[in-house]
Homo-oligomer: A and B are copies of this chain.
Amino acid sequence: MEANASNNNMQQSHSHSCLEITMEVHKVVPPPPTSSLKKLKTRLKETFFPDDPLRQFKGKSLKKKWVLGAQYVFPVLQWGPNYNLKLLKSDVVAGLTIASLAIPQGISYAKLANLPPIVGLYSSFVPPLVYAVLGSSRDLAVGPVSIASLIMGSMLRQEVSPTKEPVLFLQLAFSSTFFAGLFQASLGLLRLGFIIDFLSKAILIGFMAGAAIIVSLQQLKALLGITHFTKQMGLVPVLSSVFHHTDEWSWQTILMGFCLLVFLLLSRHISIKRPKLFWVSAGAPLVSVILSTLLVFAFKAQNHGISVIGKLPEGLNPPSWNMLRLHGSHLGLVIKTGLVTGIISLTEGIAVGRTFAALKNYRVDGNKEMMAIGLMNMVGSSTSCYVTTGAFSRSAVNHNAGAKTAVSNVIMSVTVMLTLLFLMPLFQYTPNVVLGAIIVTAVIGLIDIPAAYQIWKIDKFDFFVLLCALLGVIFISVQDGLAIAVGISIFKLLLQITRPKTVVLGNIPGTNIYRNLHHYKEAVRVPGFLIWSVEAPINFANTTYLNERILRWIEENEAEEDEKKQPSLHFLILDMSAVSSIDTSGVAFFKELNQTLENKGVELVLVNPLAEVIEKLQRADDIRDFMMRPESLYLTVGEAVASLSLTMKGQSSSSV
Residues of chain A from 574 to 613 with CB closer than 8 A to chain B in the complex: 577-578, 580-581, 583-585, 587-588, 592, 595, 599, 608, 610-611
Given the known interface contacts A2-B2, A47-B495, A638-B2, the answer about A584 and B462 at a Cβ–Cβ threshold of 8 Å is yes
Q: How far is the CB of A649 from chain B (nearest CB, A)?
A: 21
The reply on A236 being an interface residue by CB < 8 A is no
Q: How far is the CA of A543 from the CA of B512 in the complex (A)?
A: 33
Q: How far is the CA of A376 from the CA of B366 in the complex (A)?
A: 54
Which of the segments A293-301, A314-322, A404-412, A497-505 contacts the partner chain? Answer: A497-505
The reply on A361 being an interface residue by CB < 8 A is yes
Residues of chain A from 312 to 369 with CB closer than 8 A to chain B in the complex: 358, 361, 363, 366
Which of the segments A161-169, A282-290, A514-522, A565-573 contacts the partner chain? Answer: A514-522
CB of A2 within 8 A of CB of B512, answer yes
Q: Which of B4, B537, B548, B599 contacts A511 (CB 8 A)?
A: B4
Q: Which of B5, B18, B584 contacts A9 (CB 8 A)?
A: B5
Which of the segments A128-136, A271-279, A450-458 contacts the partner chain? Answer: A450-458
Each complex incorporates copies of this chain amounting to 2
Residues of B within 8 A of A588 (CB): 201
For A607-641 the 0/1 string (1 means CB < 8 A from B) is 01011000010011100000000000001111000
CB of B516 within 8 A of CB of A548, answer no
Q: How far is the CA of A358 from the CA of B543 in the complex (A)?
A: 15
CB of B542 within 8 A of CB of A583, answer no
Least CB separation from A40: chain B residue: B460
The reply on A83 being an interface residue by CB < 8 A is no
The reply on A16 being an interface residue by CB < 8 A is yes
Q: How far is the CB of A628 from chain B (nearest CB, A)?
A: 14
CB of B578 within 8 A of CB of A580, answer yes
Q: Which of B194, B454, B462, B584 contacts A459 (CB 8 A)?
A: B584
Given the known interface contacts A201-B588, A494-B493, the answer about A5 and B512 at a Cβ–Cβ threshold of 8 Å is yes
The reply on A535 being an interface residue by CB < 8 A is yes
Q: How far is the CA of A619 from the CA of B28 in the complex (A)?
A: 39
The reply on A198 being an interface residue by CB < 8 A is yes
CB of A500 within 8 A of CB of B580, answer yes
CB of B6 within 8 A of CB of A3, answer no
Interface size of A by CB at 8 A reads 102
Which of the segments A29-37, A257-265, A382-390, A418-426 contacts the partner chain? Answer: A29-37
Given the known interface contacts A495-B47, A512-B5, the answer about A460 and B36 at a Cβ–Cβ threshold of 8 Å is yes
Least CB separation from A457: chain B residue: B619
The reply on A8 being an interface residue by CB < 8 A is yes
CB of B197 within 8 A of CB of A541, answer yes
Residues of B within 8 A of A536 (CB): 580
Given the known interface contacts A2-B638, A19-B5, A459-B616, the answer about A585 and B513 at a Cβ–Cβ threshold of 8 Å is no
The reply on A508 being an interface residue by CB < 8 A is yes
CB of A611 within 8 A of CB of B518, answer yes
The reply on A208 being an interface residue by CB < 8 A is no
Q: How far is the CA of A462 from the CA of B2 in the complex (A)?
A: 33
Residues of B within 8 A of A458 (CB): 583-584, 587, 616, 619-620
Contact sample, A vs B, 24 pairs, CB 8 Å cutoff: A3-B513, A4-B510, A5-B8, A26-B508, A26-B513, A32-B519, A32-B521, A50-B548, A50-B549, A50-B552, A52-B552, A197-B540, A197-B542, A198-B540, A200-B584, A202-B584, A358-B592, A454-B620, A455-B584, A493-B539, A494-B494, A496-B497, A497-B497, A515-B635
Q: What 3 A-B pairs are tightest by C-beta distance, nearest first?
A: A200-B540, A578-B578, A535-B580
